[in-house]
Structure 1
Amino acid sequence: MISQKLVATKSTPPGESSESAPLVFNKSASLVEENTSITVEVTQADTLEPLNPDEQRDRARLELRVERAFYLAGRALAQLRDRRLYRSTHKTFEAYCRDRFNCSSDAAYLKIAAAEVYDNIQKFLPTNGRQIPMPTKERQVRDIAKADLEPEVQAEVWVRSVDEAGGNVPSSRVVKGAIEQCKEKPLLLVQDECQVGDVFNLVRLKGQEKKYNGCWAIATELTDSTVTVEVHDTTLIVESENLERIDSPNVRQQLSQILQRIRRIAKVDSLDRGAANVLKDLVRQTNLTPVEEGLLSWLEKYYGVV
């Protein structure tokens, strides 16, 4: 409780009696009237009040909404762009952002990139029970978005930054330092990570090769920085970061045989779309079920490529 003393003083203008004079409050410690003082105590209540359970839930929900405001804006802009929901009034997304949100195209794309970084951090956070705070402002992840880092590295940068900030949400300065640390990590030679004949799942491919993400592949040639792999319908040159190793020896032997069987069927002229769809599914399965093995055998007999 905070106590405060107020003083009211009767001011007597010339020609008036003290009885009709108004009371005037000042900062002294007494209520004065005709040389008589009375102390008045005015108590100010403590402003901290406990919240009931409903209010506590509402506060947490609203705080989360404020913290995620930049993320929600970025995701909304991404949908507006990807679905071309601006096309009824504008020819380009950039013009739409400028007229509707008074926002430059660079700012809009940066918001979208920041939301993607948020998603990647959430996806690749360590699953060891640690409670790691998420970004609350766009500028905290702006440099991560600009750094052209892989999704896992983006999450690593954020975790490093949080640790540097003592477990709190880091400043952009701390984030920049973590980015430099991750960029300075020594490069590993491909030969240190895989060998010819190893089997992998393909991940994080971009551009025209993006369609092969999730397919398995077999390494056939190595350089210091790249791996040549065979997939069901072509040969690709990828980097080690695009490979997730499949360690099971049985799976490696099985997939090597299946690759040859699928390729023989794929070479058939005028391949039926049903057969093509079956093959597209099989090249993503590392362990064929009896039904899948039966389908593959039936296709071999149907097209005479046994």
Structure 2
Amino acid sequence: MNKPPRKHNKATSASSSDDTPPDNQDLEENPATATITVTAVEVTELTEEEQRDRPHLEKKVERAFFEAGKALIELRDRRLYRSTYKTFDEYCLDRFGYNRSRSYQLVDAAVVVDNLQKCPQIVDILPTAEGQVRPMTKLEPQEQQEVWLTAVELAGGKVLTGRIVKDVVQRIMERTKVPNTYQIGEVCQILVKDNPELRGKGGCWGIVNVVNDFSCSVRMWDSEYAVGLQHLKSFNYLPAECQQMQVICDRISRVYSDLLEETVKSLLQLLGKVNRPYLTAVEEKLLTLLESEYGRIP
């Protein structure tokens, strides 16, 4: 005869010796009573050699943008790219991934830092980033030194940002209040520098339409732009030459449209960069052909 199955007894007490939890169960059930052992890690003092190396390496990091700018200046001036590239801009883009704007930001920054180093008061407080220097590139060397010393004082030992430098530069520009000497009809070259609104217009020419206190309204092949005085450079053309450029600008504007083929737009944009007050015979034929093809002759 089979015996009936045995019934399992229920646990009757948490203190029963048979119910002692495993070693890690107390930690899971009551973390507050757990004891955590932390192994102390001894931080050793820097050796004399390490103490010498640290500021040297930190200085290298801080001067990286300056060294890059100095190297680019030498590569450009000695034309060390000429064996494999036609232009410095093409070389920088392909070799370093720098477009024209970035390359010249570093070049201009290196020039400013070189100037700041000539001031005895600035020897130990030189810029550590290109963005700190960018607002000063338009100023004269003495003004650059004045701006930097003022910005360092305003920063009060904190990180010196490009915004602080830009504010100081703005004060100097307002203080000097250089008069606007441009005239309506004058032909000027566009200097982009650090103005993102003029991107793609560097080296182009435009006709001054409106003269304001600190800017001009300049008409170019595709539109009209408000341009600060620091972003303009007169070609100093004679009145007759300015009138001739006005005619060329009108002709290009009548043909130009964002709907045109890229090759046609590129050609018109190149005509908008000629640095002489006339078109060559070939350029004249090309523009006449485009006027005829796109029916924009008045």
Give the alignment's TM-score, normalised by structure 1. 0.48
Larger relative contact order (Cα-Cα within 8 Å, sequence gap ≥ 6): 2
Give the alignment's TM-score, normalised by structure 2. 0.49
